[in-house]
Amino acid sequence: MAAKSENGTTPGIPMPWNRPQRKREQPSLSRDQIVAEAFALLDANGIEALSMRKLAARLNAGATSLYTHVANKEELLALVVDQIFGTLPLPEAEGSEEPKVWRAKVMECAESMRAAITRHPWMVGVIGDVGMIYLGPNWMRLCEAQLAVMETAGFEFSEANEAMNAVVGYTIGTACVEASWLASLARSGQDEQEWMNRLLPTVIEATKDFPRLHRLYTTEVSSEVEAGRDNSFTRGVNVILDGIEATMNARRGR
């Protein structure tokens, strides 16, 4: 009773000199720190390396402490994803009147978006868990900028929206397929070329009944896979841009 308040020899009683003495030594935890560390963890070891406990350990914090800054894991992931989109360069609308200019701007935007997804392949596993990604501020900023480009290029509002959806849809779809490949590649821990060499025989065997795919895999993919993917993507976007431009010209013509 008196022992407790006065000398405190009872083990576990906090005394001034051995007290942890951290007077909230840092802000200690902030949403930005958490997001940043989660990002690092994801980039380092993929999606299954991110658990609330591991993340908290990295931050020298208790697992459940995170929940004062982040509602739940889903929200955390949404924040991380939107932060990625925040690193992409925003296209500027000015000077987009000429076809070559806006095409280049849209192309660059698509390429950087694809690069972001393939550089962080774990994103593919995240967009499924997280609804509402496309309502994040950075994502919206990106969309707004791209719409602005299309509008100053001379598109009507709904045309611009359609065009953007086409490009963005293609970009996300392609990049997701690529990223799911890259993610399973990262898990295997092997070089892309080497992993390809190991996998190719199986694929060729599997495509035995499909002559066109067989030809595709035996001839096309054989060398420099990465550059091949880059070129393929660029051509795909160009095809879409052709379609978009044709649409606008048709409207002007009539």
Partner DNA sequence: CGCCCCGCCGTACACTGTGCGAAACAGTGA
Partner DNA sequence: TCACTGTTTCGCACAGTGTACGGCGGGGCG
Interface residues toward a second copy, by CB under 8 A: 47, 124-135, 137, 140-141, 143-144, 147-148, 151, 157-158, 160-163, 165-166, 168-174, 176-177, 180-181, 183-185, 187, 203, 206-207, 210-213, 215-216, 220, 232, 235-236, 238-244, 246-247
C-alpha count within 13 angstroms, C-beta hemisphere, residue 51: 7
Smallest gap from Cβ 27 to DNA, in A, equals 6
DSSP assignment of 16-47 equals: TTTS---SS-S----HHHHHHHHHHHHHHH-G
Place of tokens 């987009």: 96
* Total interface residues for DNA by CB under 7 A: 28
Is 64 a residue that touches DNA (CB under 7 A)? Answer: yes
Is 116 a residue that touches DNA (CB under 7 A)? Answer: no
Taking the CA atoms of 55, 57, 60 and 66 in sequence, report the sign of the dihedral they define.
positive
Taking the CA atoms of 181, 186, 188 and 194 in sequence, report the sign of the dihedral they define.
positive
Is 10 a residue that touches DNA (CB under 7 A)? Answer: no
Q: Residue 73's binding partner, choosing from DNA, a second copy, none, with beta-carbon cut-off 5 to 8 A by kind? A: DNA
CA-to-CA distance for 104 and 127, rounded, in angstroms? 27
Helix axes 157-188, 192-206, angle to 10 degrees: 100
Complex with DNA: residue 68 or 87, whichever CB lies closer: 68
Binding residues (CB under 7 A) for DNA: these are 14, 19-24, 27-29, 50-54, 56, 60-65, 67-69, 72-74
